[in-house]
Amino acid sequence: DTGVSQDPRHKITKRGQNVTFRCDPISEHNRLYWYRQTLGQGPEFLTYFQNEAQLEKSRLLSDRFSAERPKGSFSTLEIQRTEQGDSAMYLCASSGESRGLSEQFFGPGTRLTVL
Amino acid sequence: AQTVTQSQPEMSVQEAETVTLSCTYDTSESDYYLFWYKQPPSRQMILVIRQEAYKQQNATENRFSVNFQKAAKSFSLKISDSQLGDAAMYFCAYRRGGGSQGNLIFGKGTKLSVKP
């Protein structure tokens, strides 16, 4: 399978704990995006990378959130001191370098539940 | 700031019939792209159809077509000959144009049910 993969698929944690999610994009894609989706809502943008550079961050990305893409391949999203409001589906997407219209391919998501 | 509005939280269609999902957006930019994504239950989001704002011709992909009204900032999705596998959440999304390849801005979605 050469699609976008995310790990873990589900994570249950207690409030105050740190969690880290991983995203592996499609291999030739240089852009990688993180979104958050809560129940009944559309995905909301968190941050995006072009290669290893983090080019844009949403105001939703508080200082408890940090994302990295150290070698321009996989990416990690860490949430420190989790809160119940962090419970959501975290989606990763990737897209390739091309002119004009470029499709974002989504992974299956990591569902986070904070107790 | 750009916004995307989907005013129909839920829609229902009979198998083999046609259904139209509505989407409006707000932007001051002239160069942008519009998308419809499908998210089946417990499955990942996939692209259904896309439209460049500078193209007047409406995009079509098999049973899926759009009605793009740029002046009205409207971008509806028509699904013809609906099938049971079309049941899903459908999200309308906007992305600014240029070379930025930036993030998508999504609406809240429309849940489509298909009745056999």
CB of B96 within 8 Å of a chain A CB? The answer is: no
Contacts of B6 in chain A (CB under 8 A): 42
Among residues 35-64 of chain A, which lie with CB inside 8 Å of chain B? 35, 40-45, 48, 50, 56, 58
Q: Find the closest chain B residue to A107 by CA distance.
A: B44
Distance of CA A63 to CAs A14, A23, A58, B26, B38, Å?
19, 20, 11, 30, 32
Confidence at residue B110, expressed as pLDDT on a 0 to 100 scale = 98
Type of residue found at B27 = T
Q: Which pair of tokens denotes residue A79? A: 């949430």
Question: b vs e for A26-35, b when ≥16 Cβ sit within 10 Å of the residue's Cβ?
Answer: beebbbbbbb
pLDDT tens profile B7-26: 999 999 999 999 999 999 99
Distance CA A38, CA B11 (A): 20
Asked if A82 and A19 count as a contact pair (C-beta separation under 8 A), the reply is: yes
pLDDT tens profile B46-76: 999 999 998 889 999 999 999 999 999 999 9
- pLDDT by position in tens, chain A (length 115): 579 999 999 999 999 999 999 999 998 898 999 999 998 899 999 999 999 999 989 988 889 999 999 988 999 999 999 999 999 999 999 998 655 567 899 999 999 999 9
Q: How many other C-beta atoms can be found within 10 angstroms of the C-beta atom of residue A85? A: 9
Interface A:B, Cβ pairs < 8 A: 54
Q: Which pair of tokens denotes residue A68? A: 């990295």
Distance CA A97, CA A50 (A): 9
User: Shortest CB distance from B50 goes to which of A31, A101, A109?
Assistant: A101
Confidence at residue A101, expressed as pLDDT on a 0 to 100 scale = 60
Confidence at residue B11, expressed as pLDDT on a 0 to 100 scale = 97
